[in-house]
Amino acid sequence: MGKVDLSVIFSGGIISFPKIMPYAPEFNPGAIFSVAIIFLVSAAETIGDTTAMVSGGLDRDITTEEISGSLACDGYASAFSSCLGCPPVTSFSQNVGLINMTKVVNRVVLGLAAVIIVLVGLIPKFSALLTTVPSCVLGGATVSVFAMIAMTGIKLVVKGGLNTRNTAVVGLSVALGIGVIQVADCFAQFPEWAKTIFGTSPVVIATLTAVTLNLLLPKDLD
């Protein structure tokens, strides 16, 4: 393990406030469409994260009100972050893994985590201190957390039933989501905005495939 570079901690200022509307507003149809698609994918991720969190942390099914609340928070936060020059925000799947590991679902704990994140954004020295955490520590935590996320997803799929319809939806979504981005020239004939949206993340293709198949495949397909 290497020595901690203290100069990194003391290199920043004391307080750093965000700039309100750092960019002049522009209404570009291509950019608006791209961000709208990205936010829809982000919303799908939020639904999955909250569903997995409730299932793994509270051992029950999520309610419609909880889904609506999580999507509303996503929307409000994204609208606010745009005023600070940030892209749409999203939920963090890592938190799902932590909740499944610890079974801690408490507003006080989550509130304290939010306060820490705000302090990291406002106090450069605090954020610089966190960058001194060794990569091996972060790597070890990441492996265990994402393993829990993967198992939670598998549990939700099994809970929904492994009939022909569900297997087709899940299997094709995963196969296309992972497979398409592995082909470098898959979107060579598409415009640049399409490459940015569909060719950089497996989540986009997997989400669109799952939603489309869920709408098209008959419900009684066994």
- DSSP conformation letters of 119-130: HHHH-HHHHHHH
Nearest Cα to 133, choosing from 8, 35, 45? Answer: 8
Q: How far apart are the first and last CA of the chain?
A: 54
Q: What angle do CA 65, 66, 69 make, to 5 degrees?
A: 85
Hey, how many other C-beta atoms are within 10 angstroms of the C-beta on 204? 21
pTM for this prediction: 0.70
Whole-number Å distance between alpha carbons of 208 and 204: 6
Q: Residue 9: how many CA atoms within 13 Å on its side-chain side?
A: 8
**pLDDT tens by residue, the chain, 222 residues:** 455 555 655 566 677 778 888 888 888 887 787 778 777 777 888 888 888 888 878 888 889 999 999 889 888 888 888 888 887 777 777 777 778 778 888 889 888 988 988 888 888 888 888 888 888 888 887 888 778 777 777 877 887 788 888 889 999 998 988 888 787 777 778 877 777 777 777 777 888 888 899 889 888 776
Whole-number Å distance between alpha carbons of 209 and 161: 19
- CA 116 from chain centre, in angstroms, equals 19
